[in-house]
Structure 1
Amino acid sequence: MMAADPRPMLTPQQATEVTQQLYGVTVREITTLPSYIDQNYLVEDKEGSKYVLKIMNSKESEETTVLGLQTHAMSFLHQHGIPTQTAMPTTTGQLMSMEEIDCGQGAQTYCVRLLTYLPGATVAKSPVTTHDLYNLGKLAATLNKTLLQLSSPNLDVLQRGNILWDMQNVPLVEGYLSLMDGDPLQDVIRAVIQQFQSHVQPKISNFQKGIIHGDLSDQNIIVTPLTNGHHEVSGILDFSMLTIGCHVYDLAIMIMYIMLQNPSPMDVGGALLAGWESVMLLNDDERDCLFLMVLGRLCQSLVYGRYNVSKYPDNKEYILTTAKSGTLILYKLLELGKREVERKWFTDASTFKQVIHVSL
């Protein structure tokens, strides 16, 4: 017997009823928002106020302590001036509610939260400038630095080194490479994994550690345009990968995803790096491993994307977002090589710092 699909698949009618019952909100309009394996609805009430109804998949909904910490972290960051969503209380004062719902394959329990709505478009869909990227790098490092002050008796549950997507687990990609049999990309990815194992893994113990977002992708950062052609970050979304890890992972993840949609992908790293280092300096080992971490995350995304499409073919377009340009960027980075790419990133970052300093 096949296991039930963990993804919530509430109909708009079910989502409307849940919102009204739990939050006392009279729903005027409800529309679906994209998601990987959770479910998001944009909800508008009769006064015109907007919210996001987030329904977690049934597997992650079992980890109530982790979900509680994610909710707490979002609120903590919001209080410290980071643009994050916060959870609205239910009519009984709960910030999250475990709901048993039947989506057509028997009742499963899903964690439901109604989050504040943040306006803007994803970085993936916005023509961001290098100046915007500098500010984004700065904000991401500030987020990491702020999370160092987060306190809770349950912080140890964020030791989630078993997450497949965790950067330290890049070598686990090897176990999924059979999906790519016959694809020349398979050997390229295998070679990247070997370099990661020999070059990055021995140095991870020297990386600076703390609580990290874990998934600062171009889909999880939203911006709004300013009148001068630049953008400001209006939201950091989706804290489901919140974990205790190495700060530099967040930087590498951001560089990799933002390169995907950028018309000048090679200019992304330096701008993000300059912004990041205006708040949190990398040490020598982190600088030396940044290139291979960007490659490692790219390999994770390409391989796990293909794996998840085999499980959830109906969500193929969203899951394979990386595949469109990711393969080309992987080849481009490897063609230029570690030394050349690092030279560009670090030179650009240093030039950027001087320009920013002068403009201040």
Structure 2
Amino acid sequence: MMEEGAELINRPFLDLRAAADLLMKLYEVKAADIEEMKSFTDQNFHIKLDIPITVGCSGNERSDQFVLKLYNSKDSTDGNRVELAVNTMAYLSNKEFCCPQPVCNKHGKLVHLEKVSCDEGNTGNNGKHGLFLVVLLSFMPGQLLSSLDPMPKEVIVCIGRKLAQLHKILEASLVGSADKDCNLQRLVKDFEDYNREKPSTYCSGEWSLERVTGQRHLLDLVDDTRLRAAIAKVIDLYEEHVEPVRHLFKKGIIHGDINNDNVIISKQLESHQPSNKRFIVSGIIDFGEAAYSCLIFDLAVGLSELVLVNGTSAAGRFLQGYLSLNSIPDIEKKLLYYLVLVRYAQRIMLSLEAKPRDPLNDYIMQDVENCAGLLLQLLQMQKGEVETIWNI
């Protein structure tokens, strides 16, 4: 039992033993090996089993590696949103899109809310407790995109193609097509219902680009006066150029957080040169920011992350890959510059907001300095100049 008045902690705090016990409690499987993975504000554990178990709805697939994910307390207060994200992964898996497959717990549910006291985690959280949503996902073998340095040009193109493939599966316009997919129809309706219930969030978390209009108060966290003024200008530009036409954008269910730590790559033999291997994008992970929103927002997030690591030339290759499978309306394409700036602004502000809650987590402030530098650089350049470099 948790003591009355115990402090609620946001980030899950289980140690390896407690995570293994939770796995047994909810899924009735024993971990042969368990390792904590890096995460922003959630907690993820890589699980290996001695005996493979069934994953997916077909019953034909089995796996012995999984990720036990505990959502932070803040996100766990909105179980409907997390369930939508998990259901999106389940739908994509059934469409043979490479992403984690959620596993039902012993209660037949994909998501479970677990009460955790300090006694079940590490002793550094005495007097604290948490309410965390728990899911078990199949583990995707391969390596993170962030491990590639430098990143091959063909991989960047492939990421664009993979995102276009995702959008073509989840685009809302497909709901009214001749060959209706009832499951997609139901999933989109669930997202739309959620939108109506919580219109202030647009069925999205704080990282969604449209939320920037309500994040001006976070400017106070930015000590550098030049950077603070630049971020304020970015918000102004969004409100002036993007928000008035946002209702015209193509909608669908988006991933919401395409970045170098959420893309899985693997090596594949080349058919014409069997001795050679090339990297391919084998999957997308972490749908925690999945939302019913504007497809162009997903594109802007992915573009901003690739430019951050690989330089401005990466944008053109990424867009080349995307456009090989999907189109971008001109009105949206011409706003990518502003949307990329918004992504950098949000990364700076939200990272500064999260850091005091978890000061020992270095992952939170990763690349913030680079985001600030790129934001200032792009603002100094003419919009048309940037678009020329990006091949827009």
- What is the TM-score with the length of structure 2 in the denominator? 0.82
Superposed displacement of residue 2, structure 1:
9.2
Q: 2:179 is matched with which residue? A: none
* Letter of the 1:190 counterpart: A
Question: For 1:213, which of 250, 255, 265 is the aligned residue?
Answer: 255
The yes-or-no answer on 1:313 pairing with 2:359 is: yes
Q: 2:215 is matched with which residue? A: 173
Superposed displacement of residue 301, structure 1:
0.4
Shift in alpha-carbon separation, 1:66–1:193, aligned structure 2, 3 A: closer
Q: Deviations over 1:11-68 (max 9, x none)?
A: 1111011111222222121111011111100111224822111011123223222222
Q: What residue ranges of structure 1 are gaps of 5+ in the alignment?
A: 348-360
Q: 2:142 is matched with which residue? A: 120
Segments ≥4 residues shifted beyond 4 Å: none
Q: Deviations over 1:120-165 (max 9, x none)?
A: 2222222432221212111112212211352325232552426322
Shift in alpha-carbon separation, 1:222–1:288, aligned structure 2, 3 A: same
Q: 2:78 is matched with which residue? A: 63
Give the Cα–Cα distance (whole angstroms) in 1 for the partners of residues 354 and 131 of structure 2: 22
Relative to structure 2, which stretch is displaced further, 221-230 or 245-254?
221-230
Q: Deviations over 1:316-349 (max 9, x none)?
A: x1011121422222233233321111012226xx
How many residues are treated as equivalent by the alignment? 344
Q: 1:355 is matched with which residue? A: none
Give the Cα–Cα distance (whole angstroms) in 2 for the partners of residues 287 and 298 of structure 1: 18
Question: For 1:40, which of 44, 49, 53 is the aligned residue?
Answer: 44
* Letter of the 2:147 counterpart: K
Does the 8 Å contact 1:210/1:244 carry over to 2? yes
Give the Cα–Cα distance (whole angstroms) in 2 for the partners of residues 158 and 145 of structure 1: 22
Question: For 1:271, which of 302, 317, 323 is the aligned residue?
Answer: 317
The yes-or-no answer on 1:139 pairing with 2:162 is: yes
* Letter of the 1:124 counterpart: S
Shift in alpha-carbon separation, 1:76–1:329, aligned structure 2, 3 A: same
Shift in alpha-carbon separation, 1:26–1:322, aligned structure 2, 3 A: same
- Please state whether the residue corresponding to 2:334 is helix, strand or coil: helix
Identity %: 28
Does the 8 Å contact 2:71/2:133 carry over to 1? yes
Give the Cα–Cα distance (whole angstroms) in 1 for the partners of residues 244 and 76 of structure 2: 34
* Letter of the 1:151 counterpart: Q
Give the Cα–Cα distance (whole angstroms) in 1 for the partners of residues 383 and 260 of structure 2: 23
Q: 1:351 is matched with which residue? A: none
The yes-or-no answer on 1:88 pairing with 2:88 is: no
Does the 8 Å contact 1:179/1:307 carry over to 2? yes
- Please state whether the residue corresponding to 2:293 is helix, strand or coil: strand
Q: 2:22 is matched with which residue? A: 18
Give the Cα–Cα distance (whole angstroms) in 1 for the partners of residues 193 and 248 of structure 2: 22
Q: 1:151 is matched with which residue? A: 185
Give the Cα–Cα distance (whole angstroms) in 2 for the partners of residues 307 and 90 of structure 1: 34
Shift in alpha-carbon separation, 1:115–1:328, aligned structure 2, 3 A: same
Give the Cα–Cα distance (whole angstroms) in 2 for the partners of residues 237 and 344 of structure 1: 29
- Please state whether the residue corresponding to 1:46 is helix, strand or coil: strand
- Please state whether the residue corresponding to 2:388 is helix, strand or coil: helix
Question: For 2:367, which of 308, 322, 325 is the aligned residue?
Answer: 322
Give the Cα–Cα distance (whole angstroms) in 2 for the partners of residues 217 and 70 of structure 1: 17
Superposed displacement of residue 96, structure 1:
2.2
Q: 1:339 is matched with which residue? A: 384
Relative to structure 2, which stretch is displaced further, 323-332 or 235-244?
323-332
The yes-or-no answer on 1:97 pairing with 2:127 is: no
Does the 8 Å contact 2:101/2:138 carry over to 1? yes
Superposed displacement of residue 170, structure 1:
2.2
* Letter of the 1:276 counterpart: Y
- Please state whether the residue corresponding to 2:218 is helix, strand or coil: helix
Relative to structure 2, which stretch is displaced further, 193-202 or 144-153?
144-153
Shift in alpha-carbon separation, 1:290–1:229, aligned structure 2, 3 A: farther
Does the 8 Å contact 1:137/1:272 carry over to 2? yes
Give the Cα–Cα distance (whole angstroms) in 2 for the partners of residues 158 and 168 of structure 1: 16
Tell me how large the CA RMSD over aligned residues is: 2.1
Give the Cα–Cα distance (whole angstroms) in 1 for the partners of residues 161 and 239 of structure 2: 29
Q: What residue ranges of structure 2 are gaps of 5+ in the alignment?
A: 53-63, 119-125, 176-183, 196-200, 270-275
